[in-house]
Structure 1
Amino acid sequence: MSVGVIILAHTALHRTAEAVRHWVDGGCPVVIHVDRKVKERDFQALVDDLYPLENVQFSKRHKCDWGSWALIAATQDAARQLLQAYPAVRHVYLASGSCLPLRPVSELCQYLEARPETDFIESSTTSDVPWTVGGLDKERFTLRFPFSWRRQRRAFDAYVKLQQLVGFRRNVPHGLIPHMGSQWWCLTRKTLSAIQDDPRRPIYDRYFRKVWIPDESYFQSLARLHSTKIESRSLTLSKFDYQGKPHIFYNDHEEMLRRSGCFVARKIWHRADALYRVFPQTHAAGEDLPDPNPSSIDRVFASAVERRTRGRTGLYMQSRFPTIDRVSSFTAQPYSMLQGFAEIFDDFENWLGDTTGAEVHGHLYGPDRAHFADGGDIYIGGLSHDAILRDYNPRMFLSNLIWNTRGTHQAFQFGPHDTQSLNWVVAKDTNARISVVSGAWMISLFHKRAEFSDVRREAARLQQIEHKHMKILRSPFAKARIRILTLADFMRSPMETLQTIVDEMSEQPHAGLTQVPQIVDLTGFGSFLQDLRNQGMHPFLTGDFPINPEALVAKQRPPKPYLVR
């Protein structure tokens, strides 16, 4: 009995009963909270259905609205009841009635027994991640929110504007740093007990009662005060769309759920009978158990969001009619802006120049100077390397460089360290060829010898800068030829991307690459990214980069033979 389970049930109680049987059959005690908005006869039917099962209890019922304090109160009561009734429990897993167990309980117990002191809870500061939807991130912790966002929208908006108008600001309790993350966590008994028995808990509870959506910040913040080891990730697969609404999984998501490696998935459609028949799935004897990795399917969700928000070229529809922007270019011929490649490969600029015959510069918009390809202080056309002169009119600096070198393809490196004032200009330039490996700049921080706290702070700052740049490049107003890959995606097939860039810069199909630059040493880089997550900084721009460096580059499958008749 190493794992105890808290289930927050609201609807489809027959599915809740199925989940409870799964946990109990696996040897886990379960405490269930049923929303007080559920009709009494439905609640009693659930109690009667589960009555024969041992180690199942029901906690005090609360009326739970979306994003309300009642969700925290319900979790607190259930946690207290579970810890008191089952002293042998070492980890407490929080799930919902719409959660579907994907793997056997025995695998979860085995996973947690190997990590007895680890708390699994997504916990990041608001300055590090762009998760918040609705325009409120830091404000959710400094303003008061007594009105329901869903049921009292006008009062909610009016009261927020009033507080902002008069300059009202709540003080965060001393010593507390607000963190945010998924509501679904798995905490050790030690940490959860410390949160429950904290002598300052009345102060924290009074503060979080008026925080917006406290179920995404209460335990995420307090765990940072009491935990000795946090894995800033959830063992539950839970995805949200660009509007902040949870994705619902249906029968045709079976393969995706299996690929995530998570122990539990939320939110499952209550009529997805095929999923409830297939899961949980066991692994073959002797097979290495996969590590939960919900980010492994992020690419699918990112593609879905892009398709939904940007549509497809040439497809016109009532809900997404395009805004016509005048096609223009401020440069004389095509050129390339490369972001992240110089950090991944040794001597990348010289290799690319020798391979394509193009003029490949360093960071033309570096903070210290313009790094020309020949390393000189003055370039063709009298362009100076001086950063002050360049930044007086960065657009014309690039325009003059392209004009003065007509006939030779120009390429230059770029990154979040560089001057960012040209981002919109290049993105709307039809002559620009932009290739980005997002998050690759973290490799430089990884190799940098500095205090980890300074590295984390710098990583958070640079990630915000690059994230803003990525939003510009993905804007419907961007007219450049743009290619964006996360570092993890690029490392799976670097040759394919390099071949495309070489062909693009050569302006004609180039023979297959026979020589490529050496990839820098990435040993330990995956662990470095996990350390950043554990410290509250979520490096989302790198993609689902594995901890094991041997899994960086996917093995190429040989072509399948076929018969021509």
Structure 2
Amino acid sequence: MSLGIVMLVHTAFDRAEQMVRVWDAAGCPVVIHVDSEVGQETHDAFKHALADLANVRFCARNRCEWGTWGLVAASQTAATMLLEDFPDVSHVYLASGACLPLRPVDELIAFLIDHPDTDFIESATTADVPWTVSGLDRERFTLRFPFAWKKRRKLFDSAVKLQQMLGYTRKTPDGLVPHMGSQWWCLTRQTLDAILQDPNRPAYDHYFRQVWIPDESYYQSLVRIHARRVESRSLTLAKFDFQGKPHIFFDDHMQLLRRSDCFVARKIWKDAELLYRSFPRKNDPDCAKAAPNTGTVDRLFSQAAMRRTLGRPGLYMQSRFPSIDRENGVAAARYTVLQGFDDVFEQFQNWLARRTGAQVHGHLYAKDRAHFAGDGKIYKGGLSDHPRLRDYNATMFLTNLVWNGREDYHCFQFGPADSQDIRWTIARDTNASIWVISGAWAIPLFRSGRAASDVRAEAARLQRIENAFLKTLRGPNAHARISIMSLAEFIQAPTDALQTIIDDIAGHRGKAVSEPPKMADLDGLADFLQDLRNQGMHPFLTGDITQGDARQAKRDAPPKPYIVARK
């Protein structure tokens, strides 16, 4: 059994030479394809450097631009020469100059001997491929792509849009089912020869010339026609980021690569001296039969991709300003927004702080100033209570407050009289719990002693603002934990609602509501609301409150008892 190597090279020729010698030292013939964009002088120098190796060949050169047919043509040309010049080769491994064998090549050969009829190539139908990046998966097989995506982006996009607008689709050759996967494969001689000698190859080549990124679909599709047994995975460890760009392995990744037990890895940084000195590792009988294990690498890279795209909630800094559309949270930790509670209850903030141990702020977005817990003018992190500084960027004010005090749980009061710039932020923040007693703004107006005719305009203004906030909370982009009760609903059973809020904030550390906070005197509120209606202002957000409801609120039923199981 003999393993042959097809190597694609376009840069870092000193490292490519080093890798050729590694393959050659293991008895593997190598056919090298050098991108035609590389200068002739560089090509000749590279060829001369390897002139002492009898089993190394250089094939005809093709122009290899990313995403185009040239990469497939390069592998076809090199593979054809390899099969013709080395008839003893039983498996062909596609590699690049940036591929580094991690284990002794003898172990790879032994592995292939144990799998003599298996083709190792990642090959999945378009319906089953979740890693497609840029939105083109099936379209890459049904449209034509005459322009290179990297160098002629506008023409590429225009051609795609024009074909989609005209409803143009290409016919797939009979018997061909498009598959996709990593371009790095290891095929048996029989399968590769069948692909290259297929009588329908001219039709297949003609079709794939206009497919986008054909090196990820040409062999992946044709192997399904000719292979006896396909194992849909690559023997080369190659990872890609969320944009579809290949990850580069540095010296820092040495232990990670060692634990993977993979045979080959790419893409290795050309100056990773430690990696090039350490790999391929020396023969170790205890590890010789180890199967490639990418689980650890996959998990770490998945976590890295998640951190890169989702970030750390609430962390905003010069080196990484998060994308609003991709973040998994706005603030760094959970917090609670309470609207209307301080209107219904007297000294509500102090009462809630005693029972939860949380930092209970007043109206952080009040028009006059930010009312911090403890009523200080400066909060942790140097946050000022000045309204102009706060409103310059309301979201950053909130995220800074939660980040700098993330060892505590934060609550703050909110209402329609406050600055409303923050409402979209808290509505979409998955770390926010929002509790609203709608219509509670009517209580301060009622207790002001002013006639309904005098406060009618102010009541209408507050209701319009609150109604806009409620629409935001009920919108499709609201991801916070949201609870909305009308004032009429709340005063029917305020203790139960308060206990739920305490449990949400403090969990098992919360205290049972044995003594609720003192409720404002609501006698006469029903008449006040009726007077507003008589003035032409309908307070629909308060709910239907009667005089009996206001009296019942003072005689609120005791809280539901907790059941404690005894052993």
- For the 8 Å contact 1:316–1:322, the answer to whether it is kept is no
Q: Which residue of 2 aligns with 1:241?
A: 241
Query: Given the alignment of the two structures, is residue 65 of structure 1 paired with residue 69 of structure 2, yes or no?
Result: no
Q: 1:477 to 1:312 in 2, by over 3 A?
A: farther
Q: Distance in 2 between matches of 1:154 and 1:8?
A: 29
The structural deviation recorded for 1:166 is 0.5
Q: Which residue of 2 aligns with 1:158?
A: 158
Q: What are the superposed Cα offsets for residues 117-176 of structure 1, whole Å, 9 maximum, x if unpaired?
A: 000000011111211111100000000000010011000000100000010000111111
**TM-score of the aligned structures, taking structure 2 as reference length:** 0.58
Q: Distance in 1 between matches of 2:79 and 2:133?
A: 29
- For the 8 Å contact 1:144–1:211, the answer to whether it is kept is yes
Q: 1:426 to 1:311 in 2, by over 3 A?
A: closer
The structural deviation recorded for 1:303 is 1.3
Query: Number of aligned pairs?
Result: 352
Q: Which residue of 1 aligns with 2:104?
A: 104
Matched ranges for 1:463-478 at <5 A: none
The structural deviation recorded for 1:13 is 0.6
Q: 1:287 to 1:306 in 2, by over 3 A?
A: closer
Q: Which residue of 2 aligns with 1:221?
A: 221
Q: Distance in 1 between matches of 2:281 and 2:227?
A: 32
SS at the partner of 2:82?
helix
Q: Which residue of 2 aligns with 1:320?
A: 322
The structural deviation recorded for 1:285 is 2.2
- For the 8 Å contact 2:107–2:288, the answer to whether it is kept is no
- For the 8 Å contact 2:330–2:430, the answer to whether it is kept is no
Q: Distance in 2 between matches of 1:271 and 1:111?
A: 30
Q: Distance in 1 between matches of 2:69 and 2:50?
A: 28
Q: Distance in 1 between matches of 2:303 and 2:114?
A: 35
Task: Please report the RMSD computed on the Cα atoms of aligned residues, expressed in angstroms.
Answer: 3.1
Q: Distance in 1 between matches of 2:477 and 2:248?
A: 27
Q: Which residue of 1 aligns with 2:121?
A: 121
Q: 1:431 to 1:169 in 2, by over 3 A?
A: same
Q: What are the superposed Cα offsets for residues 91-115 of structure 1, whole Å, 9 maximum, x if unpaired?
A: 0000001111111111011000010
Q: 1:476 to 1:86 in 2, by over 3 A?
A: farther
Q: 1:321 to 1:16 in 2, by over 3 A?
A: closer
Matched ranges for 1:80-99 at <5 A: 80-99=80-99
Amino acid in the other structure paired with 2:14: H
Q: What are the superposed Cα offsets for residues 263-284 of structure 1, whole Å, 9 maximum, x if unpaired?
A: 1111011011110000001342
Q: Distance in 2 between matches of 1:88 and 1:137?
A: 38
Q: Which residue of 2 aligns with 1:147?
A: 147
- Runs of 5+ in structure 2 lacking a partner? 337-426, 435-475, 482-503, 510-567
Q: What are the superposed Cα offsets for residues 421-463 of structure 1, whole Å, 9 maximum, x if unpaired?
A: xxxx99969689xxxxxxxxxxxxxxxxxxxxxxxxxxxxxxx
Query: Given the alignment of the two structures, is residue 207 of structure 1 paired with residue 216 of structure 2, yes or no?
Result: no
Q: 1:200 to 1:262 in 2, by over 3 A?
A: same
Q: What are the superposed Cα offsets for residues 253-311 of structure 1, whole Å, 9 maximum, x if unpaired?
A: 10111122111111011011110000001342244522123343111111111211122
Q: Distance in 2 between matches of 1:239 and 1:112?
A: 23
Q: 1:170 to 1:277 in 2, by over 3 A?
A: same
Q: Distance in 2 between matches of 1:254 and 1:88?
A: 35
Q: Distance in 2 between matches of 1:77 and 1:263?
A: 25
Q: Distance in 2 between matches of 1:9 and 1:137?
A: 28
Q: Which residue of 2 aligns with 1:294?
A: 294
Q: Distance in 2 between matches of 1:102 and 1:325?
A: 42
- For the 8 Å contact 1:310–1:476, the answer to whether it is kept is no
Q: What are the superposed Cα offsets for residues 189-225 of structure 1, whole Å, 9 maximum, x if unpaired?
A: 0000000010000000000000000000000000000
The structural deviation recorded for 1:313 is 2.4
Q: Distance in 2 between matches of 1:97 and 1:14?
A: 9
Q: Distance in 1 between matches of 2:477 and 2:85?
A: 56
Over 3 Å off, 4+ runs: 321-329, 425-432, 475-480, 506-509
SS at the partner of 1:145?
coil
Amino acid in the other structure paired with 1:114: D
Q: 1:270 to 1:476 in 2, by over 3 A?
A: farther
Amino acid in the other structure paired with 1:246: P
Q: Which residue of 2 aligns with 1:562?
A: none
- For the 8 Å contact 1:283–1:289, the answer to whether it is kept is no
SS at the partner of 2:180?
coil
Say which one has the larger Rg.
2
Q: Distance in 2 between matches of 1:476 and 1:92?
A: 52
Higher relative CO (CA 8 A, sep ≥ 6), structure 1 or 2? 1
The structural deviation recorded for 1:181 is 0.4
Amino acid in the other structure paired with 1:320: P
Q: Distance in 1 between matches of 2:323 and 2:52?
A: 58
Query: Given the alignment of the two structures, is residue 186 of structure 1 paired with residue 186 of structure 2, yes or no?
Result: yes
Q: Distance in 2 between matches of 1:267 and 1:321?
A: 28
Q: Which residue of 2 aligns with 1:526?
A: none
The structural deviation recorded for 1:5 is 0.3
**TM-score of the aligned structures, taking structure 1 as reference length:** 0.58
Q: Which residue of 2 aligns with 1:252?
A: 252
Q: Distance in 1 between matches of 2:272 and 2:36?
A: 26
The structural deviation recorded for 1:328 is 11
Q: Which residue of 2 aligns with 1:55?
A: 55
